[in-house]
């Protein structure tokens, strides 16, 4: 199963992908997670993209496409994948079409008010990337990761100014991909507003049709 998860920031792509990957037995490839792990490891790429991510802008296409190309060379991606956060521009989508044939593009649909609520309440464990929400998915002990016991942090790009910028970048650069994939007959719309387990079961049903 070669899947793409498309949708606005905060729609729950990462949350659902972390369960869907077990259901389908395929890796979850999040370009945002890959960039964040470069930043954490202080690699050359990490240094190059740190300020871009903090501001909520897009990393240049050439850099992002090359990173995905390299990731596809790893053996776990041979029998399928969930791409989360890629492609985000028409140029990235064209590049992906040269690399892989897709089975479906899942479009996570959520209104702006919910998006902002989800992003502003998100907290993450820096070392594992595990994601919580102060209201919708709180940790057992406030501010502490359930597994590692480390303090939870707020992503730089979940601060109010960066949230607004990410939404406008999404509308200008990524939203056109909805029509792009609908035309190709690959788009599957999913209501992202219910609880995660409901979103997951609707998604499984929809992509297996």
The option from ligand AP5, Mg ion, none interacting with 10 (CB < 5 to 8 A, set by class) reads ligand AP5
Catalytic residue, chosen from 21, 88, 118, 123, is 88
Tell me whether residue 166 is one of the annotated catalytic residues: yes
The number of helices, as runs of H, and strands, as runs of E, in the chain is 9, 7
Catalytic residue, chosen from 21, 36, 118, 122, is 122
Per the CB < 8 A criterion, the answer to whether 165 and 52 are in contact is no
190 vs 139: CA distance, rounded Å: 27
Torsion of CA 103, 18, 87, 4, to 10 degrees: 10
Site for Mg ion in 8-67 (CB under 5 A): 14
Chain residue at closest Cβ approach to ligand AP5: 32
7 binds Mg ion (CB under 5 A): no
Site for ligand AP5 in 46-65 (CB under 6 A): 52-53, 56-59, 64
184 vs 103: CA distance, rounded Å: 11
44 vs 38: CA distance, rounded Å: 8
Site for ligand AP5 in 130-149 (CB under 6 A): 131-133, 136-137
111 vs 122: CA distance, rounded Å: 17
Tell me whether residue 88 is one of the annotated catalytic residues: yes
Per the CB < 8 A criterion, the answer to whether 117 and 153 are in contact is no
Tell me whether residue 130 is one of the annotated catalytic residues: no
Nearer Cβ to ligand AP5 (24/170): 170
Nearer Cβ to ligand AP5 (27/85): 85
* Token pair recorded at residue 48: 């190059």
Polymer length in residues for the chain = 209
Total of chain residues touching Mg ion, rule CB under 5 A: 1
What string marks each residue from 79 to 98 as x (binds ligand AP5 by CB under 6 A) or -?
------xxxx---x------
Q: Which residues bind ligand AP5 (CB under 6 A)?
A: 9-15, 30-32, 35, 52-53, 56-59, 64, 85-88, 92, 118, 121-122, 131-133, 136-137, 157, 166, 195-196, 199
């Amino acid at each position: 199963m070669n899947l793409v998860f498309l949708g606005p920031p905060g729609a729950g792509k990462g949350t659902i992908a972390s369960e869907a990957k077990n259901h389908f037995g395929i890796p979850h490839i999040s370009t945002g997670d890959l960039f964040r792990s470069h930043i954490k490891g202080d690699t050359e790429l990490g240094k190059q993209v740190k300020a871009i991510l903090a501001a909520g802008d897009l990393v240049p296409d050439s850099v992002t496409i090359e990173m995905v190309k390299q990731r596809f060379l790893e053996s776990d991606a041979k029998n399928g994948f969930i791409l989360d956060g890629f492609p985000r521009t028409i140029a990235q989508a064209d590049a992906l079409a040269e690399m892989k044939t897709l089975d479906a593009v899942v479009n996570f649909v959520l209104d702006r008010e919910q998006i902002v609520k989800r992003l502003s309440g998100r907290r993450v464990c820096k070392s594992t990337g595990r994601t919580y929400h102060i209201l919708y998915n709180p940790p057992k002990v406030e501010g502490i990761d359930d597994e590692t016991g480390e303090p939870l942090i707020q992503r730089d790009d979940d601060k109010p100014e960066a949230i607004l910028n990410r939404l406008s970048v999404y509308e200008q650069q990524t939203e056109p991909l909805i029509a792009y994939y609908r035309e190709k007959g690959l788009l599957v719309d999913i209501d992202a507003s219910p609880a995660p387990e409901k979103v997951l079961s609707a998604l499984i049903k929809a992509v297996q049709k």
